[in-house]
A and B are shown apart, each in its own frame.
Chain A
Amino acid sequence: MNTYLKLAWRNLWRNKRRTLITLSSIVFSVLFVSLMRSMNEGSYDSMIDTMVKFYSGYLQVQDTAYWDEKTLDNSLESNLVLDKKIASIKDVSLVTYRIESFALAAHQEKSKPVMVFGINPQLEDQIIQLSDKIVSGNFIDEKSKEAMISLGLSKYLNLKVGDTIVLISQGYHGVSAAGKFKVKSVFKHPSPDFDKRVIFLSLETAQEFYSMTDKYTSQVIMAKDHYSVENISKNIKPLLPKNRTVMTWDEIVPELASMIKSDRIGGIVMLLILYLVVGFGIFGTAMMMLNERKREFGIINAIGMHKYQINIVLSIEMIILGIIGAFIGLLLTFPIIAYFYNNPIPLTGDMAEVMLEYGIEPFMYFSIQPLIFINQAIIVFFISLIVSFFVIISIARMNLTKALRS
């Protein structure tokens, strides 16, 4: 074995140009395949990141009955001990309570069904970055009795900062709820759908309006990124009392999750095509290299080395090339993708405009999850092994006399 290894190693360094060319075909395969994966995953990352900030958050703790029947009667009480435990879980960046319900909003002659959110202004601002989106007026604070309304709604009801909006709804346990609120500010919600019908009140004011002292409909949990969600959910579950449950963003907004899922399948089809292309590239290079050495194989075969022994040496050569190629590919890919991760490619034209309208930054994002590159490097390594198998078969079929004369 040692001899084979030595032979293979020396063969590789005998003709450096040849080795480097084969190596480069593997290295660049790793690079392209990883770039493509990273681009795909990066776009999902940014999509998820933007969408959870609109509404759902990464995770929510709710009463077990709330999801099926979203009424205020299925609400939670605050539990400081539990909050502290949840906040101390790794990767949890923020925990805040919310009240979410419907109301009929009216001003002068017009009325419209709206979504009412009771929020902790300071914490919620860190999720949705509301203070950047204020068109006029000022941000509400915790004690504020005033309302923040979305731009589309303000236009429909013809409301300006300082006007009064009337809300009519049903409160806790069927109590009727009615209230007048001064408009403190108008903001542009990044989701066009929400922008037509959202009102924010401070938690305290919303509790008073719906007659539900110290009760909340949900608890929103933000995380570092969506990769940590599963782990957080696993850690929260044992902490919760029986009547509470934790939901992740893909359960709360299943449309987004399934869209990503179906898009990912399309991405995999393209990736398979790319594997085919790079695989053939590696095959071509390896084939040419070995073809050059036909005479050499003929001679060593003639002086007594068995064909299977040649095959072993060749296999070792290809494995070494595959490992080194995949490794260098990994080393090369990382800084390139790290660059694109930090400097995403800006998009232009109509597409960028539509994205901006939806509150998505018009950039082509890349993902920097190490697993992506490592997986791709391993896959390319195996592709190069499969390819070399075919090449070696062609050597095994070599005709000795013809090879000697070539």
Chain B
Amino acid sequence: MIWTIAWRNIWRNKLRSVIVITALAIGLFAGVFSMGLYQGMAEMRYTSAIKTEVSHIQIFNKTFRENYDIQFSINNSNKIVEKINNIPKVAASSRRLLSECIVSSAHGTSGIKLIGIEPNREKKVTDISEKIIDGNYFEYTSSRIPTIVIGKKLAQKLKLNIGSKLPVQMLDINGDISYKLYKVRGIYESVDTSYEEMNAFVMYAEMQHQLAIDGDIAHQIVLFLKPDIEASEVASALKKEFPTLEILTWKEINKELALLADSMNQYMYIFVLIIMLALCFGIVNTMLMAVLERTRELGMLMAVGMNQLRIFLMIILESVFLCITGGIVGIIIGWVVIKNYETKPLILDIFKGFETYGYSYKIYTKLLFSDILIIGSFVILLGVISAIYPAKKATQLDPAEAIRTI
């Protein structure tokens, strides 16, 4: 009964209700849309970092990461890589040798991390090979001087070009200093300039030689997973299979990325909350007006026996109905737009020029259904909260006096 009365009351003043419903629809559309937009942006940013730098899962010897001591390596690495490649959830994996070293040119000296890779395997895991801006990625092999691929930032810092010779100095497995001369044959560019500055690549065999290591060993194995597979799932399966190795997901390795992935939501909820608060005052105003305008009518209802609780409920329901109607309209429009841009990118010219910082101007939006449900329940709550004051005001009316007002 009260439900029907409340619903009909809304439509008695069509203009007012339509205005409030439109405001709500716009607000919620904006909320849902920006949520999808920013989630899409965050996802693109961390997937690009995973592709270039981190990979989904990294495997080490249990003690290696404490000091990055080259003694602590993974034995039988080739077999392990083969085994991992056979796991259906894994797209590709690759083994690496790692060492901190010093490189020097006429223009300065720099401490970097040298990574020894097998290009054919590495290409399938990371996309550095696609980010070469000058030279090429280990294509030229028939030379006495081995190839090194460096980042753009390091090239700028040490004033290196394609063809520059670069001496690398590191400690080998026996603790002796070993020098080796490389030639720069590729320069890559990444989103993260500090990564560019700190990481350079050489062939696995050359690094093995410089470190005076022999045998089938690696310091790190990196994995790239097939789409939509949770890294933690694969990691726990790997932990069972290789209990002696340290297995880390990208979230554990790069906390900043994990933070980006997890906190974007928190920030978006704060934004949606601000929008809701702004809407809330609009609804309070409308409901207050609806109550004050109907003083005589409310007095009449009370006089004929409608108790205070029912009056209170009626006003609250009116507001909730308004919010639900507006909310449904806004969320549906938002959802449709977001779905549309999930497959073809939204092109924002405003972000052009920021590509080098990891923001793409082509954005694929993304929104989870659970977020929609949360926003939806926010809306109902919004309706209840904003009607409390006007409803209370209505119950405080004195029927005898209210009836007499015009």
Whether A50 is near chain B, meaning CB under 8 Å from some CB there, is no
Residues of B253-300 contacting chain A, CB below 8 A: 255-256, 258-259, 262-263, 266, 271, 274-275, 277-279, 281-282, 285-286, 288-289, 292
Q: A28-B278, A262-B351, A277-B275 are in contact. Are A354 and B255 (CB under 8 A)?
A: yes
- Chain A interface size, as a band, is 35 or more
Q: What are 8 residue pairs bridging A and B, where the CB atoms are less than 8 Å apart in the complex?
A: A25-B282, A25-B285, A36-B274, A262-B354, A277-B30, A281-B281, A284-B22, A284-B282
**B285's closest neighbor in chain A, by CB?**
A21
Whether A123 is near chain B, meaning CB under 8 Å from some CB there, is no
What is the CB-to-nearest-CB distance from B37 to chain A, in angstroms, rounded to a whole number?
Answer: 8
Residues of A279-335 contacting chain B, CB below 8 A: 280-281, 283-285, 287-288, 291
A288 close to B16 (CB less than 8 A) = yes
**B276's closest neighbor in chain A, by CB?**
A277
B259 close to A274 (CB less than 8 A) = no
Whether A400 is near chain B, meaning CB under 8 Å from some CB there, is no
Identify which of A110, A283, A351 contacts B263 (C-beta below 8 A).
Answer: A351
**A280's closest neighbor in chain B, by CB?**
B23
Whether B85 is near chain A, meaning CB under 8 Å from some CB there, is no
Residues of B151-194 contacting chain A, CB below 8 A: 171, 175, 193-194
Contacts of A255 in B (CB 8 A): 193-194
B102 close to A113 (CB less than 8 A) = yes
B108 close to A284 (CB less than 8 A) = no
What is the CB-to-nearest-CB distance from A290 to chain B, in angstroms, rounded to a whole number?
Answer: 10
Whether A24 is near chain B, meaning CB under 8 Å from some CB there, is yes
A32 close to B266 (CB less than 8 A) = no
B256 close to A24 (CB less than 8 A) = no
What is the CB-to-nearest-CB distance from B102 to chain A, in angstroms, rounded to a whole number?
Answer: 5
A269 close to B34 (CB less than 8 A) = yes
Q: A269-B350, A351-B259 are in contact. Are A113 and B175 (CB under 8 A)?
A: no
Q: A269-B350, A280-B22 are in contact. Are A285 and B277 (CB under 8 A)?
A: no
Identify which of B107, B109, B193, B292 contacts A102 (C-beta below 8 A).
Answer: B109
Whether B97 is near chain A, meaning CB under 8 Å from some CB there, is no
The contact string, 1 if C-beta is below 8 Å from chain A, for chain B 319-355, is 0000000000000000000000000000000110010
Residues of A258-277 contacting chain B, CB below 8 A: 258-259, 261-262, 265-266, 269-270, 273-274, 276-277
Identify which of A265, A273, A284 contacts B350 (C-beta below 8 A).
Answer: A265
What is the CB-to-nearest-CB distance from A384 to chain B, in angstroms, rounded to a whole number?
Answer: 14
**A39's closest neighbor in chain B, by CB?**
B270
A17 close to B255 (CB less than 8 A) = no
Whether A278 is near chain B, meaning CB under 8 Å from some CB there, is yes
Whether B100 is near chain A, meaning CB under 8 Å from some CB there, is yes
Interchain CA distance A276-B22 in the complex, whole Å: 12
The contact string, 1 if C-beta is below 8 Å from chain B, for chain A 102-128, is 101000011111100000000000000
What is the CB-to-nearest-CB distance from A176 to chain B, in angstroms, rounded to a whole number?
Answer: 13
What is the CB-to-nearest-CB distance from A277 to chain B, in angstroms, rounded to a whole number?
Answer: 5
Q: A170-B109, A350-B258 are in contact. List 7 more A-B contacts (CB 8 A).
A: A28-B281, A102-B109, A270-B271, A273-B275, A281-B282, A285-B282, A285-B286
Whether B357 is near chain A, meaning CB under 8 Å from some CB there, is yes
What is the CB-to-nearest-CB distance from B318 to chain A, in angstroms, rounded to a whole number?
Answer: 15
B34 close to A270 (CB less than 8 A) = yes
A288 close to B108 (CB less than 8 A) = no
What is the CB-to-nearest-CB distance from B49 to chain A, in angstroms, rounded to a whole number?
Answer: 14
B194 close to A262 (CB less than 8 A) = no
B194 close to A265 (CB less than 8 A) = no
Contacts of B38 in A (CB 8 A): 266
Contacts of A273 in B (CB 8 A): 30, 33-34, 275
Q: A258-B357, A284-B19 are in contact. Are A24 and B285 (CB under 8 A)?
A: yes
Residues of A331-367 contacting chain B, CB below 8 A: 350-351, 354, 357
Whether B20 is near chain A, meaning CB under 8 Å from some CB there, is yes
Contacts of B259 in A (CB 8 A): 350-351, 354
Interchain CA distance A280-B262 in the complex, whole Å: 32
A residues apposed to B, CB below 8 Å: 17, 21, 24-25, 28-29, 32, 35-36, 69-71, 102, 104, 109-114, 155-156, 170, 193, 197, 255, 258-259, 261-262, 265-266, 269-270, 273-274, 276-278, 280-281, 283-285, 287-288, 291, 350-351, 354, 357
B277 close to A32 (CB less than 8 A) = yes
Q: A113-B102, A281-B282, A288-B16 are in contact. Are A69 and B255 (CB under 8 A)?
A: no
Interchain CA distance A306-B99 in the complex, whole Å: 86
Interchain CA distance A106-B359 in the complex, whole Å: 41
A277 close to B19 (CB less than 8 A) = no
Identify which of A102, A111, A291 contacts B15 (C-beta below 8 A).
Answer: A291
Contacts of B34 in A (CB 8 A): 269-270, 273
B residues apposed to A, CB below 8 Å: 15-16, 19-20, 22-23, 26-27, 30, 33-34, 37-38, 41, 66-68, 100, 102, 107-111, 171, 175, 193-194, 255-256, 258-259, 262-263, 266, 271, 274-275, 277-279, 281-282, 285-286, 288-289, 292, 350-351, 354, 357, 359
B20 close to A284 (CB less than 8 A) = yes
Interchain CA distance A191-B292 in the complex, whole Å: 59
Contacts of B20 in A (CB 8 A): 284
What is the CB-to-nearest-CB distance from A322 to chain B, in angstroms, rounded to a whole number?
Answer: 17
B281 close to A277 (CB less than 8 A) = no
**A258's closest neighbor in chain B, by CB?**
B357
Pick the 8 closest A-B CB pairs, nearest first: A113-B111, A284-B19, A281-B282, A273-B30, A262-B354, A280-B23, A277-B27, A28-B281
A288 close to B278 (CB less than 8 A) = no
B279 close to A259 (CB less than 8 A) = no
Interchain CA distance A291-B37 in the complex, whole Å: 37
A259 close to B357 (CB less than 8 A) = yes
Identify which of B67, B102, B274, B288 contacts A155 (C-beta below 8 A).
Answer: B67
Interchain CA distance A278-B277 in the complex, whole Å: 10
What is the CB-to-nearest-CB distance from A13 to chain B, in angstroms, rounded to a whole number?
Answer: 17
Contacts of B262 in A (CB 8 A): 350-351
**A102's closest neighbor in chain B, by CB?**
B109
Identify which of A21, A28, A71, A277 contacts B108 (C-beta below 8 A).
Answer: A71
A112 close to B100 (CB less than 8 A) = yes
Identify which of A281, A283, A351 contacts B278 (C-beta below 8 A).
Answer: A281
A193 close to B111 (CB less than 8 A) = no
Interchain CA distance A354-B261 in the complex, whole Å: 13
Interchain CA distance A182-B107 in the complex, whole Å: 31
What is the CB-to-nearest-CB distance from B378 to chain A, in angstroms, rounded to a whole number?
Answer: 14
Contacts of A281 in B (CB 8 A): 23, 278-279, 281-282
Interchain CA distance A136-B275 in the complex, whole Å: 49
Interchain CA distance A81-B34 in the complex, whole Å: 55
Interchain CA distance A149-B253 in the complex, whole Å: 25
**B350's closest neighbor in chain A, by CB?**
A265
Contacts of B26 in A (CB 8 A): 276-277, 280
Interchain CA distance A170-B108 in the complex, whole Å: 10
Contacts of A24 in B (CB 8 A): 281, 285
Pick from A70, A283, A288 the residue with the most CB of B within 10 Å.
A288
**B359's closest neighbor in chain A, by CB?**
A262
